[in-house]
């Protein structure tokens, strides 16, 4: 049951264009954006990912 929930969340999450890692919700990263990169090795780490952010 938890698996179904996680899959749906992943389905909505964008992929970071810099590192290809699935972005995390901004809430989880602590920034004011829908999604952000959570790969510490990525140059875009902590930056908004996806086109949902620039409104």
Residues within the interface to Zn ion (CB under 5 A):
16, 18-19, 37, 39, 42, 44
Q: Mark out the alpha helices in the chain (DSSP H runs).
A: 2-12, 26-29
Q: Which is nearer to Zn ion, 1 or 40 (CB)?
A: 40
Cα–Cα distance between 26 and 18 in angstroms, integer?
17
Cα–Cα distance between 22 and 11 in angstroms, integer?
10
Least gap, CB of 1 to Zn ion (angstroms): 30
Q: Which is nearer to Zn ion, 11 or 41 (CB)?
A: 41
Q: Which is nearer to Zn ion, 43 or 54 (CB)?
A: 43
């Amino acid at each position: 049951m938890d698996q179904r929930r996680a899959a749906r969340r992943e389905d909505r999450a964008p992929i970071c264009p810099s590192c290809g890692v699935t972005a995390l919700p901004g809430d989880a990263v602590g920034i004011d954006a829908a999604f952000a990169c959570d790969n510490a090795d990525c140059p875009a780490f902590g930056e908004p990912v996806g086109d949902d952010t620039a409104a």
